[in-house]
Amino acid sequence: MLLSTPASVMPRKGISENVAGLKARPRPRLRSWRTIYFGVFGGDMLGLVGTLVLALLVATAVLGPWLVTHDPILTTPGTLLPPSGEHWLGTDHFGRDVFSRTITSLRVDFVVAVIGVSGAIFIGSVIGLVCGYLGGWLDDVVMRFVDIV
C-alpha cells in the first residue's frame, strides 16, 4: 500500500527555482493605425471615408431617439421655415421638422436595406446553386439573362 503525502505537507520550491525555468515570451508588437489601415483598406482613402460615413449613419440611427429635437409627425403653423436654431434643417410644407424626420427615417431605411440585400443574396445564391448543379441549357439561359440585366 502506497502512502501519499498531501500537497500542503510537501516541500515547496523557492521562488528563484520556479522563475529560473520560465522563458520570457516576446511582447506582442503593438499595431499602429497605419498598419491596420493598409491591412484593411489597402491604402484606399475612399474606402476609409465610406466606412466612416456609414459608421456615422449607423451611430445616428442607433442614437436617433436621443438626437431628435421635435416630434417628427407633429405639424406646426410654421411651414417651409429655413434652417434655424430651433429647426436645424428647417420645416417642410406641413410644418414638420425635417431634421427629426430624417433621423427617424434612418432606422426604417436600414431595416429595408438589410432585408432587400439579404433577399437578393438568398435568391441569387439559390438560382446560382441550381444552375451550377444542373448545368446544361438552364445554366446557359440564366447566364444570358444575367448578362442582359
> For 27-31, 86-90, 99-103, which range has the lowest pLDDT when averaged over its residues?
27-31
Q: Would the pTM of this model clear 0.75, i.e. be above it? A: no
9 band by pLDDT with thresholds 50, 70 and 90? low
> Hey, is 26 helix, strand or coil?
coil
- Average pLDDT, integer, range 118-146: 93
Mean pLDDT of the chain: 86
For residues 105 and 54, give the distance between their C-alpha atoms in angstroms, rounded to a whole number: 15
- For 21-80, write each residue's pLDDT tens digit: 666 677 777 678 788 888 888 888 999 999 999 999 999 999 999 999 899 999 999 999
For residues 81 and 119, give the distance between their C-alpha atoms in angstroms, rounded to a whole number: 40
No. of helices (H) and no. of strands (E), the chain: 6, 0
Helix (H) / strand (E) element for 139: namely helix 136-148
